[in-house]
Amino acid sequence: MLKSLTDNITFSSSAGRFFLLGLGRTWNIDEVNSRPSREIILGRKENVIFAFWHNRLFFMTYYLATRFIRRGHRVVVFSSYSKDGEIMTRLETKLGASVVRGSSSKRSREGLLSLYRVSKEGHSPAITPDGPRGPKYQVKGGIVFLAQKTGFPIIPLTYSVDKALRLNSWDNFIVPLPFARATVHYGEPVYIPPEVSKPEREKYIKQIENALMVCG
């Protein structure tokens, strides 16, 4: 996925950080409906679960680092065991996030339990609920399970962008170009009770999907 970006760059954690922060400084970023979530995160200093599609990961890594981590909010990223996951793990760590490795397809239970433990130590998890292999734009159940266990609200995050590369990957991974204009859309916080029936669980999954599909 990120191979086209890294073939000509020595993508060490330091080089990756420099590349992403330099590129990100050229972006013009607007926000829609951010106030309710920002009040929870930065106002009341409560933990949440950030949810965004896998193909938005590159931009969101920059966004979470500059909007929340730099302001003292601790974030833990759920990263896959893939080669791309390794690249992003190094980059996210360099930008100040903690990382738990796991996925829906490999060591999923072990990864979610580790993520739960780190979350309860005062971190907000960041999850791509359709990753790492898809299907594209379909929320899997792990994020609902984590919300039930932690009691944290899920904050759906997505964005639209006027200029970007869309890679030839299963999710058409998006890399905003220099000087792109991006609009970040916040969904309403989703609170999930500790106990839910299967129909209720599906209702919450659909609610999260709908919030994330504001920008398909």
Could you tell me if residue 124 is left (phi over 0), alpha (psi between -120 and 50 degrees) or otherwise beta? beta
Please state which of the ranges 24-33, 87-96, 101-110, 150-159 shows the lowest mean pLDDT.
Answer: 101-110
What's the pLDDT band for 86 if we cut at 50, 70, 90?
Answer: low
Which tokens go with 41? 């995160």
In this predicted structure, the answer to whether residue 34 has a pLDDT above a threshold of 70 is yes
Which tokens go with 136? 């594209």
> Beta strands 181-186 and 154-161: pairing type?
antiparallel
Segments making up each domain of the chain, as ranges: 29-164+180-212
Between the ranges 7-16, 24-33, 105-114, where is the mean pLDDT highest? 24-33
**Cα 91 to the center of its chain, rounded Å:** 14
Give the number of other Cβ atoms within 10 Å of residue 80's Cβ. 23
Residue of 80, 81, 64 lying closest to 72 (CA atoms): 64
**CATH architecture for residues 29-164+180-212:** 3-Layer(aba) Sandwich (3.40)
The pLDDT assigned to 166 comes to: 95
Counting every residue written for the chain, the total comes to: 216
Q: Would you call 206 exposed, middle or buried from its count of C-beta atoms within 10 A (0-12, 13-18, 19+)?
A: exposed
- The DSSP 8-state label assigned to residue 40 in this structure reads I
In this predicted structure, the answer to whether residue 108 has a pLDDT above a threshold of 80 is no
The pLDDT assigned to 187 comes to: 97
The pLDDT assigned to 1 comes to: 44
The pLDDT assigned to 132 comes to: 84
Residue of 175, 172, 190 lying closest to 51 (CA atoms): 190
The average confidence (pLDDT) of the chain is 88
What's the pLDDT band for 66 if we cut at 50, 70, 90?
Answer: very high
The pLDDT assigned to 206 comes to: 97
